[in-house]
Amino acid sequence: MEAGLRSYGRAGAPVQSRRVFLGGAAALATGLGLRPAWAARRLKLLCLGDSLTAGYLLPAGQGFAPALERALRGRGLDVETIDAGVSGDTATAGLERLDWALGEGADAAIVELGANDMFRGLDPALTEKALDAILTRLKERNVRPILAGMRASPALGADFVARFDAIYPALAAKHGVPLYPFFLEGVAGDPALNLKDGIHPTRAGVEKIVAGVLPLVEKTLREIAG
């Protein structure tokens, strides 16, 4: 496109006229709510997760993915989030549907999985293997991963907690990807920010999660946008 414009400037209309034309067209498109064909493309952010991503029992549009999209747009980023949160999913289930969730692709992906593995007492080695495969596949498809960590309940015992909690920093270091250490930071254990089950965030809880993860996600997307 740029080469074509330069050629047109040499062979036809003066450069100044071309700039006036493009500027006027952009202003018209903006006024009509349209995107000019030469405008920067919209970024796509996959949110791959379980019920914490899906917005369990929350009204439509109040879950993590749409709330994050609104926050990012409020920071001036043209982003579309892909809500791939499925209640009850383990890390292995997330891996099995990853290609379907990606569809034609994305620029970045937040991986929020492992809580159900923990609650079911699954071997942390299985969780780590699945998350490792997810991060590998995302990178193979040129999707920038952001890993959201989870923490094990102390009720599962010190050995399990140590093995489970170590998964996320180890994988982030192995793959060289950004890590948000605990997805429920500032929300877990607060009755005012959780539903009656004490596990799933309320709308206010979701907003708290979004506020926490926003700087890391914004930084990643701006790096991609250049």
Q: Supply the residues annotated as catalytic.
A: 51, 197, 200
Query: Are 56 and 87 a contacting pair, CB within 8 Å?
Result: yes
Q: Which two structure tokens, joined as six digits, stand for 71? A: 């926050």
Residue-level length of the chain:
226
Mark out the alpha helices in 123-202 (DSSP H runs): 124-140, 158-165, 167-175
Q: How is 183-219 classified by DSSP, letter by letter?
A: TTTTTTT-GGGB-TTSSSB-HHHHHHHHHHHHHHHHH
* Residue type at position 175: H
Query: Are 113 and 50 a contacting pair, CB within 8 Å?
Result: yes
Query: Are 143 and 108 a contacting pair, CB within 8 Å?
Result: yes
The strands making up 179-180's β-sheet, listed across from edge to edge, are 79-85, 43-49, 108-112, 144-148, 179-180
Alpha carbons 43 and 73: distance in angstroms, whole number: 11
Q: How far is CA 45 from CA 65, 143, 165, in A?
A: 9, 9, 25
